[in-house]
Amino acid sequence: MSRDKGGGRGAFLGPGRLAREFSLLQRQGGVPHAQLQPDMNDTLTWHFVLHDLPADSPYHGGVYHGKLVFPPNYPFAPPSIFMLTPSGRFEVNKRICMSMSDFHPVRNPADQSFSWESPEKRVRMHSK
């Protein structure tokens, strides 16, 4: 269970946490060079579009669609990150190998310094 109606510990996990983080992102004006949108049919999936990337980026001039797939126990486990637009760098719809993603499992949860990073920080990594 990712959320309990009584406001207990489950309210801080998964979909409830993500809804609050998305609301905060909207109030703060979003993420530079990115548009984020939770999936209407799956609260644990967010789509993003990277655009207007800096001139010194190898991806300058392109527009790239990707998705973040969060586990039900987020933020205690990292999301999967996928790119859905061909870029020549990442395989389409395959998990991306990043230290802040679920690609490399961490044996000791205390080592997950990224576990408290917001989706905004994860998308910023791609948009720089």
Catalytic residue, chosen from 73, 97, 104, 125, is 97
For the chain, what are the domain ranges?
9-127
Residue 70's closest CA among 9, 17, 1?
Answer: 17
Is 97 an annotated catalytic residue?
yes
Q: What is the pTM of this model?
A: 0.71
Residue 28 is given by DSSP the state: T
Q: Is the CATH number 3.40.50.2000 carried by domain 9-127?
A: no
Q: pLDDT at residue 125 above 70?
A: no
What does the mean pLDDT of the chain come to?
80
Q: pLDDT at residue 7 above 60?
A: no
